Amino acid sequence: MFWIRVKQIEVPEAQSMIDKEEALLVDVRRPKDFEASHVEGAISADKNKVHEILDSEDRARPIICYCYKGVSSRVACKNLKKAGFIKVLNLKGGYDAWKKKAR
C-alpha cells in the first residue's frame, strides 16, 4: 500500500471542485500555521491521522489535501486512500501555489 498513486491537482481545478462539487479541503500543515493563515473553508488535520477525523459519509466526496509545498500532504492522501476514501487529491505546489494563483 506504500506505493499508492496520488493524483495531483492544480489550483484552478481545485477551486472549481470546491465550488462545484463541494470538495473538502484538508490542511495538514502545523496547527500554528493553519491558525495564521489557510485556505478559506479548509479543515486542519494531522497528515497521519486525517482518516480518523473524517466522517464515513465523506468517503465518496472529493478531498483535496495540501501542506506547504505539496510533498507531505501526499502522506495524508495515501492514508485516506488506505482507509477507503475514493476521490483523494493532492494540491500541487501546496499552500504556496494557492497563495500565488488564487486571487
High-pLDDT (> 90) share of the chain, %? 69
Q: pTM for the complete prediction?
A: 0.91
Decide if 34 is inside a domain: yes
Q: How many structural domains are present in the chain? A: 1
- Summarize pLDDT for 2-52 with one digit per residue, the tens: 556 889 999 999 999 999 978 999 999 999 999 999 999 999 999 999 988
pLDDT at 103 over 60: no
Decide if 1 is inside a domain: no
Instruction: Find the CATH number of the domain harbouring 52.
Output: 3.40.250.10
Decide if 33 is inside a domain: yes
Decide if 32 is inside a domain: yes
Decide if 92 is inside a domain: yes
Decide if 2 is inside a domain: no
96: burial class by Cβ within 10 Å (0-12, 13-18, 19+)?
middle
Range with the poorest average pLDDT among 9-18, 53-62, 72-81: 53-62
List of residues 6+ apart from 77 with CB closer than 8 A? 4, 6, 65, 88, 89, 90
- The pLDDT assigned to 77 comes to 94
The set of catalytic residues is: 67
